[in-house]
Amino acid sequence: MKKLFLIGLAVIFAVLMSCRSDSNTDAPQLNLNGNWSPDKIVSTATQNGTTTTTTVITNDCQKKGRLVFNSNSTGKATYLDDSNGTCAIALAADFTYTFDPDTKKFSITINNNTMYGAVTSLTNSNVIIYYVDKSNPAISNNIEISGTKVAN
């Protein structure tokens, strides 16, 4: 469950990085192809009427994780974790996505699991995305991820 959740977060983060700005048609289009690093993840989960919010400010190891967004609607999410004392890859997954730059809505498919969400904030260097993780039908899990564009 944790791996699917983390993969989903990483993939969605990467897909959302691909969106473009639509605020001004004369303004240069944002180019989000490249590598993104997670800064903060907020999860609000509701199960059996009880809601729990968890906020993770990524540590140095987790910041080494990457969401790579490709221009051909594919990408790769890599999540690193140091919970066992050593910073190591906890998961790596390829994904495909769709994105509507006008509505800022997206879908990401990873391991035959499709998640839906929207970009709530986007600049040349930062992004905030929101999606609902439905990998566990017994839990309503709303996820918000903040990230920073990084060099290759």
Q: What is the pLDDT of residues 22-73, one digit of tens each?
A: 444 555 555 567 788 999 999 999 999 999 999 999 999 999 999 888 889 9
Give the CA dihedral 83, 127, 103, 11, nearest 10 degrees: -30
Decide: 8 and 130 in contact? Cβ < 8 Å.
no
Q: Which fold has domain 2-23+31-150?
A: Lipocalin (2.40.128)
pLDDT confidence of residue 31: 53
pLDDT confidence of residue 21: 45
Comparing 10 with 90, the larger pLDDT belongs to 90
What is residue 111's three-state secondary structure?
A: coil
Q: Where are the domains of the chain?
A: 2-23+31-150
pLDDT confidence of residue 32: 60
What is residue 7's three-state secondary structure?
A: helix
Query: Does residue 18 carry a pLDDT above 60?
Result: no
pLDDT confidence of residue 86: 95
pLDDT confidence of residue 30: 56
Whether this prediction's pTM lies above 0.85 is answered by no
To which residue do tokens 């260097």 refer? 125
For range 127-146, the mean pLDDT: 88
Mean pLDDT of the chain: 81
For range 69-82, the mean pLDDT: 91
